[in-house]
Chain A
Amino acid sequence: MSAAEDPAAVARDERTSGGESRLMLFVLPAVVVLVFIGWVIWRQTANLDSIEERQLAWVVIGRLSWEHIQLTLVSTFFVLIVAIPLGVALTRPRFKKAAPVAIGIANAGQAAPSIGLIVLLAIWLSFGFWTAILSLTLYAILPVLRNTIVGLEGVDPTLVEAGRGVGMSAAAVLLRIELPLAVPVIMSGVRTALVLLVGTATLATFINAGGLGSLIITGINLFRYPIVVSGALLVALLALLIDWAGRVLEMYARPKGI
């Protein structure tokens, strides 16, 4: 389980207070950049032994960060292409009755610890990148699925009827009215998923799928605190940065007029 599970994600999106948004949009990236610069200065001036030098080499840091970003973005992509269509299907009249069941299953699945899910899948399938992607995807479907359903159900039914009434097909109403109007709520779910994924991706290193988590684990195993703390710091900064990117995306994706 990552720390990113966000209870109020659904209810919050419209209410996010102006103060919080502003702090998060402008202050947060500044803090991230400052801390990163601080770490770079430390990295350049600190007295490191040869193991630490090797683990914290710039090439290594770059490769691990890139792996981490790949893990996050690829799994986010799969989450989107699974959860949004599923959410759409579960709000269509034909499958509407199945929605509470699906949400219930997803909720119960969320009670499983993420580390357990990753390890079990690795034992069952194999170690490596794609197993990590599979478990990350499974893990982050819930927030997007839930917000897609909530967002679509929140669209004023008279608008849907108005769309049908002026002669739009069911598909056109979905694409041009329901989904655009649900975008703010869906995007809030997507951001929750992003944060969840960037956090859970730190565990990918346990099954040899790389990512910045490996610095932390290597550091713990070798008892080298500079490596542990560097890894932890870099992961935290990356997570904050991705959360920030999610917020910016959320702002731009919001249709004008709402």
Chain B
Amino acid sequence: MWDFIVERREDIAYNAFQHVNLVVQAVLLAFVVAVLLAILVTRVPALQSLANSVSAMGLTIPSLALLGLLLPLFGIGPSTAFPAVAFYATLPILRNAVVGLQGVDATLLESARGMGMSPVRSMMRVQLPLAWPVILAGVRVSTQMSMGIAAIAAIVLGPGLGGYIYTGLSQIGGANALNQALLGTIGVVILALALDALLLLLGRLTTSKGIRV
């Protein structure tokens, strides 16, 4: 196994970077979209059950199915992998952001308004910071999920470590089949745990001391 890795270290490093790159970009896009949607949803209560239903339904659709549905539109390669990963990444963040924003004590918002804060300022200074830990928890779930979906997306030749798993599968019986599959799987686990640790650290640095648990 060790020789197998050393032989391919550059290739592995490149694919690992591609994997993380795909996930980070997708999650960043998802984050922006989800938080904006959540703000809209908390403003217009009628949209709330719709948003919850859509995100529950979205999470129900198997990732392989979504890849299949997107394939005719975007073609083989990262152009299909990216929107698929970003789609799933949005849903947990959206759900948590809605819960987090609504969880902010209404009296606090009232007192912010009473102090003369504009709605935008009150959102930026009060509501978002208070909802931040919940939103960040959504980002962590979303990131972990995206790591796995990115691995599956290698079936449409998406970038990253998933390729090793499929190669292992296609070479079954061959000398390196197990090594390939192990490399892909463990590589994704390590990257996922590392990203999660980074997000935890980010949470500690960006959460107000007053509400940190």
Contacts and interface: CB of A to CB of B under 8 A. Distances in A.
Task: Verify whether A and B have any Cβ pair under 8 Å.
Answer: yes
A7 B72 CA distance: 31
A104 to B, nearest CB: 12
Given A7-B92, A112-B189, A240-B61, A20 B56 contact: yes
A232 B65 contact: yes
B147 to A, nearest CB: 7
Given A5-B145, A116-B181, A239-B61, A229 B68 contact: yes
Contacts of A119: 165, 168-169, 181, 185
B64 A216 contact: yes
B123 to A, nearest CB: 22
A123 B61 contact: no
Contacts of B117: none
Contacts of B68: 216, 219-220, 228-229, 231-232, 235
A17 B147 CA distance: 30
A115 B138 CA distance: 23
A23 B181 contact: no
A151 B156 CA distance: 40
Interface stretch (B45-53, B106-114, B202-210): B45-53
B188 interface: yes
B151 interface: yes
A239 B62 contact: yes
B138 A7 contact: yes
A101 interface: no
A225 B68 CA distance: 8
Nearest to B169: A119
B152 interface: yes
A27 B196 CA distance: 37
A2 to B, nearest CB: 6
A59 interface: no
Max chain A C-beta neighbours (<10 A), residue from B96, B141, B145, B177 = B145
B89 to A, nearest CB: 10
Interface string A85-128: 00000000000000000000000101111111101101110000
B144 A4 contact: no
Contact of B65 (A18, A28, A239): A239
Contacts of B72: 225, 228-229
A203 B148 CA distance: 13
Contacts of A200: 62
B63 interface: yes
Judged by DSSP, the binding face of A is helix
A24 to B, nearest CB: 6
Contacts of B149: 1, 3
Contact of B63 (A22, A122, A199): A199
A7 B165 contact: no
Contact of A232 (B48, B66, B88): B66
A147 B189 CA distance: 24
Interface in B152-209: 152, 155-156, 162, 165-166, 168-169, 172, 177-178, 181-182, 184-186, 188-189, 192-193, 196
A20 to B, nearest CB: 4
Interface of B: 48-50, 52-53, 56-69, 71-72, 88, 92, 95-96, 99, 137-138, 141, 144-145, 147-149, 151-152, 155-156, 162, 165-166, 168-169, 172, 177-178, 181-182, 184-186, 188-189, 192-193, 196
7 contacts: A3-B88, A28-B53, A113-B162, A119-B168, A119-B181, A120-B182, A123-B178
Interface of A: 1-8, 11, 16-20, 22-24, 27-28, 108, 110-117, 119-120, 122-124, 195, 198-200, 202-203, 206-207, 213, 216-217, 219-220, 225, 228-229, 231-233, 235-236, 239-240, 243
Nearest 4 A/B pairs, CB to CB? A1-B148, A19-B49, A116-B185, A232-B68
